[in-house]
C-alpha cells in the first residue's frame, strides 16, 4: 500500500503530535523525522520499523538554515530517487509564560527562531521538492503547519509565544496563497488544548473530564485527511480542540 517513490518529512518530533503524525504517514510513505536531539526520534523510528515501515531520524535545528540544508542533503543521499509527498512542520518552542516585564529579548528570539525562522527554513527546502511532485504524487503534495491557541490570540503572559505563532500563521497564509495555485496544499492547524502525552499526564485540564486532553492520534487523523483532500477542495485552516474545551 505504501508508496515507495515518495516520502514524508516531519520536523518537530517528540512524544505528541509529531510521533502520531509520523506513525500515521509511515503507513503510506517512508518517513524522515527531524528533531534537535536523537532521543526525540529514536524510539519512534524503531516503532515504525517494527511495524514494517521505513523511517530515519536526522538531528536538526530548524532555526538554523545550515542545519536544515544539511538535513535535506542527507535525505537526498538516503533517498536519491524519492520525491516528497508531504512535509509537516510541528516545531514549537519559546513557550516562556511570564509577565511581559520578566521576559527577556532572548525569549522572543527563541520563539521567533523555532517558530517562524524554523518554518521559513523548512519551507525553503521542502517547497521546491513539493512542486516537483505535483504531477505524479498520490495526493496533492502537502505542507502542514501546526499552530496553537496562541496563533489567533495574544493572551496576557504569552507575548513572545504568541509572536512566534502569529508569525508562523502569516507565513502559512502567504505560502498557501502563493503555492496553492501551483498545486501544493498548504494548511495550518490550530491545536487548541493540551495534548495527552506523558509530560501532561498530571495536568488537570477541563476538570479532569475524560478525553479532556487531545489525543495525538486523533490529530494525526486530521492531518492525514488534509493530505488526502482533492485539489478542488483544499482546507487552509482548521481548529482542533477537546469537546469540553472553553473557547
Question: CB of 62: closest distance to its own copies in angstroms?
Answer: 11
* Cβ-based nearer residue to its own copies, 57 or 141: 141
Question: CB of 204: closest distance to its own copies in angstroms?
Answer: 15
103 CB-contact burial (10 Å; exposed 0-12 / middle 13-18 / buried 19+): middle
Distance CA 7, CA 85 (A): 6
* Cβ-based nearer residue to its own copies, 99 or 202: 99
* Cβ-based nearer residue to its own copies, 14 or 140: 140
Distance CA 184, CA 208 (A): 40
Question: CB of 13: closest distance to its own copies in angstroms?
Answer: 19
Instruction: Find, among 148, 138, 30, the residue nearest to 89 by Cα.
Output: 148
DSSP calls for 13-57 = -SSSHHHHHHHHHHTTS-EEEEESSHHHHHHHHHHHHHTT--EEE
Distance CA 38, CA 29 (A): 21
Residues 113, 96 contacting (CB under 8 angstroms): no
Distance CA 161, CA 150 (A): 7
* Cβ-based nearer residue to its own copies, 40 or 160: 160
Question: CB of 92: closest distance to its own copies in angstroms?
Answer: 14
Question: CB of 36: closest distance to its own copies in angstroms?
Answer: 18
The DSSP call for residue 200 is G
- The grid cell for 223 is 492531518
* Cβ-based nearer residue to its own copies, 50 or 232: 232
* Other Cβ atoms within 10 Å of 64 Cβ, number: 15
Question: CB of 200: closest distance to its own copies in angstroms?
Answer: 12
* Cβ-based nearer residue to its own copies, 78 or 243: 243
Backbone phi and psi for residue 33, each to the nearest 5 degrees, phi listed first: -110, 125
* Cβ-based nearer residue to its own copies, 56 or 145: 145
Which neighbouring-strand residues pair with 9?
A: 32, 87
Question: CB of 152: closest distance to its own copies in angstroms?
Answer: 9
Amino acid at each position: 500500500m505504501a508508496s515507495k517513490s515518495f516520502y514524508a518529512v516531519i520536523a518537530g518530533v517528540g512524544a505528541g503530535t509529531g510521533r502520531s503524525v509520523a506513525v500515521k504517514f509511515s503507513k503510506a510513505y517512508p518517513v524522515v523525522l527531524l528533531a534537535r536531539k536523537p532521543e526525540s526520534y529514536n524510539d519512534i523510528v524503531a516503532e515504525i520499523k517494527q511495524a514494517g515501515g521505513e523511517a530515519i531520524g536526522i538531528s536538526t535545528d530548524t532555526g538554523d538554515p545550515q542545519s536544515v540544508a544539511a538535513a535535506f542533503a542527507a535525505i537526498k543521499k538516503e533517498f536519491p530517487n524519492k520525491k516528497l509527498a508531504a512535509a509537516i512542520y510541528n516545531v514549537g518552542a519559546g513557550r516562556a509564560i511570564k509577565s511581559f516585564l520578566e521576559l527577556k529579548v532572548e525569549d522572543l528570539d527563541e520563539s521567533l527562531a523555532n517558530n517562524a525562522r524554523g518554518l521559513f527554513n523548512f519551507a525553503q527546502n521542502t517547497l521546491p521538492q513539493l512542486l516537483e511532485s505535483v504531477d505524479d504524487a498520490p495526493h496533492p503534495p502537502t505542507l502542514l503547519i501546526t499552530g496553537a491557541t496562541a496563533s489567533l490570540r495574544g493572551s496576557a503572559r504569552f507575548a513572545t509565544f504568541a509572536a512566534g505563532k502569529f508569525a508562523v500563521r502569516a507565513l502559512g497564509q502567504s505560502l498557501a496563497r502563493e503555492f496553492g495555485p501551483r498545486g501544493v496544499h498548504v494548511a495550518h492547524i490550530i491545536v487548541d488544548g493540551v495534548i495527552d502525552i506523558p509530560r501532561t499526564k498530571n495536568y488537570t485540564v477541563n476538570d479532569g473530564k475524560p478525553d479532556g486532553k487531545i489525543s495525538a492520534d486523533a490529530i494525526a487523523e486530521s492531518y492525514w485527511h488534509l493530505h488526502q483532500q482533492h485539489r478542488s477542495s483544499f482546507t487552509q485552516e482548521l481548529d482542533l480542540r477537546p469537546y469540553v474545551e472553553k473557547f
